[in-house]
Structure 1
Amino acid sequence: MNHSGAESDQRAAVHVTKDKNGIDQVLLRNPRGASALVSLHGGQVLSWKTDHDEELLFTSSKAIFKPPSAVRGGISICFPQFGTRGLLEKHGFARNKIWAIDENPPPLHPNDSNGKAFVDLLLKPSDEDLKNWPHSFEFRLRVSLAEDGYLTMISRIRNINCKPFSFSFAYRSYFSIADISEVRIEGLETLDYLDNLCEKERFTEQGDALTFESEVDRVYLSSSGAIAVFDHEKKRTFTIRKEGLPDVGVWNPWEKKSKSITDFGDEEYKKMLCIDGAAVEKKITIKPGEEWRGRLEICVVPST
């Protein structure tokens, strides 16, 4: 099945298939052969490959692909709660739900569809969701793969309630890396961060780059520029840009924590790094009829 998301360029292809549990997934392919795989389970990006078929995202070998479990890896949507900062299940319910393909989405800016393979997904709350979190919303997600291989996710959340509501949000992004000990992150220097390993205490980043030699679980605050992840061994750099998402989550469970996570391999921490475009410290509040928009754009380039 070819989907309307590729009408602007016949060479950009969109195909809907099913996974082994019968859940729809959408394969986006750009003219150069790069691809992204989006599951309707959680609206989650499970795979993002270069035109050389090299996987850029990490998914655990022990990941569970069956709702109501969220899939450990890829890029998942944390909504309406980040982590355990609230009364809902960890990271909220959006990543555990089955989304729908939105055949007639309200238009986005023309630049957001030109020459791209894209799919639009829609999530509305179930009766059960409304019991746990009594706010009516429409959540539209566009995932697009550009001709240059850039992966973009745009979330639009509309309040169709009669009263305002507040939420936290993150794109939980698991990057595939060669070796966590050889990776550095730039773009976080001088920022304040909340350290989840120290009861969310606030610190200021002192280093000019972040490197890893033990467990890290932090939320960096008010980051405006791009974040760069340098993977020395694979000689590539991920660049992460975001709009509407002031914060950046950084997570690697390291050795001890890895052994306690059931859907994560004991040694897999060496090959992954989570970087989240997020809104955590200050919740987003939207009034009735209003819409919030959060955008994440990721690209990968060979390091010089």
Structure 2
Amino acid sequence: MGSSKLYLNPQGASARVSLHGGQVISWRNERGEELLFTSSKAYNTAIFKSPKAMRGGISICFPQFGNCGSLEQNGFARNKIWTIENDPPPLRPNDSLGKSFVDLLLKPAEEDLKCWPHGEVRIEGLETLDYLDNLCQRERFTEQGDAITFESEVDRVYLSSPQCVAILDHERKRTYVMRKEGLPDIVVWNPWEKKSKAMADFGDEEYKQMLCVDAAAIEKNITLKPGEEWTGRIELAGVPSSFCSDDLDPHLKFF
């Protein structure tokens, strides 16, 4: 899978980033607990060979998500070799308290430039939103539940989603909070039993251990004119298990 870099912060937490795709493949808290899912088959070189990306972790899907465009699945960025920025821009004020940062660079080739234009787990913050269901030919529905739970395969795109959502893992007494900017939609995916068994790069029972919740721009393309800039950002944080959806402030800024 190529080289990776390990980063530690003074509190003992760590993250490992694969330069193949600029993908975060491990995030451990100060107690050494792994907070990200990566398939047990991820390091099987018979399955994962360059330029194929690793299954799991936090990946960069750009400039498209899935097959919602004319490029390869999830775009070209996740199948390129990234480099570490040796002279990153300064951090925002108060952004360095208890945190570690790594800046990754993708230097596109000329070819790339032509393309640029479970009952125990629930998601709160997407209630009443419209979504596209990829299991029903991308038909549009409105979320009716007070939270999203999982009892079968789910493959949806929630449209015009709020800046902040929470993923509650009751079994592990753990909550993740995802904050985002510049990315209006949220993808929610779990392959469930049948599809898991059909995927060569995924363990038969691993659907019970993972859930994909990813921010994206799917319904409306992001188009830049010469000289324009666009920023997309996702921040994932682990918070105490007592956290509940009432704590979700739609105007909450990033940490």
TM-score range, shorter chain: 0.7 to 0.9
Question: What TM-score, normalized to structure 1?
Answer: 0.74
Residue 302 of structure 1: how far off its partner (Å): 2.8
Could you report, residue by residue, the CA deviation over 1:201-229 in whole angstroms, capped at 9, with x for unpaired residues?
A: 11000000110010000000111242111
CA distance in 2, matches of 1:291, 1:298: 24
Q: Within the alignment, does 1:224 sit opposite 2:203 as a pair?
A: no
TM norm structure 2: 0.88
Residue 245 of structure 2 corresponds to none
**DSSP 3-state at the match of 1:281:** coil
More displaced 10-residue stretch of structure 1: 60-69 or 92-101: 60-69
In 1: Cα distance, 2:124 partner to 2:98 partner: 31
Displacement of 1:100 in angstroms is: 1.2
Structure 1, 42-51 or 98-107: larger mean CA deviation: 98-107
Aligned AA (1:39): S
Q: Deviations over 1:22-50 (max 9, x none)?
A: x3322221211011111111000000111
Task: Compute the displacement of 1:285 (Å).
Answer: 1.2
Partner of 1:118: 101
Q: Alpha carbon RMSD of aligned pairs, Å?
A: 1.6
Structure 2: how far apart are the matches of 1:248 and 1:122? Answer: 25
Q: Tell me, yes or no, if structure 1 residue 253 matches structure 2 residue 191.
A: yes
Residues 69-123 of structure 1, C-alpha deviation per residue, up to 9 Å, x if partnerless?
Answer: 1100000000011111112111011111101112123445344445532111111
Matched to 2:221, the amino acid is K
Report the counterpart of residue 88 of structure 2 in structure 1: 105
Aligned equivalent of 1:208:
146
Could you tell me which residue of structure 1 aligns to residue 58 of structure 2? 75
- Where does residue 96 of structure 1 map in the other structure? 79
Q: Secondary structure at the match of 2:221?
A: strand
User: AA paired with 2:110?
Assistant: D
Contact 1:67 1:97 in 2 (8 A): no
Partner of 1:293: 231
Higher strand share: 1
Tell me the secondary structure at the aligned position of residue 119 of structure 1: coil
Give the Cα–Cα distance (whole angstroms) in 2 for the partners of residues 199 and 124 of structure 1: 36
Q: Would the aligned equivalents of 2:156 and 2:187 in 1 still touch at CA under 8 Å?
A: yes
Among 30, 38, 62, which residue is 2:9 paired with?
30
- Report Cα offsets for 1:118-147 as digits up to 9, x if no partner: 11111122234346x2x4xxxxxxxxxxxx
With CA pairs under 8 Å and 6+ residues apart, which has the higher RCO, 1 or 2?
1
Identical positions, percent: 71
1:1-304 alignment, distance < 5 Å: 23-64=2-43, 66-113=49-96, 116-130=99-113, 133=115, 135=116, 165=117, 180-304=118-242
**CA displacement 1:156-211 (0-9 Å, x = unmatched):** xxxxxxxxx2xxxxxxxxxxxxxx33111110000000101111111000000110
SS at match of 1:258: helix
CA contact (8 A) 1:187 1:225 kept: no
Structure 1, unmatched stretches of 5+, are 1-20, 136-164, 166-179
Aligned residues: 238
> What is the aligned partner in structure 2 of residue 153 from structure 1?
none
Cα deviation, 1:263-285, whole Å, max 9, x if unaligned, reads: 00111001100000111111111
Query: 1:144 maps to which residue?
Result: none
Task: State the AA in 2 paired with 1:98.
Answer: I
**Aligned-partner Cα distance in 1 for 2:149–2:215:** 19
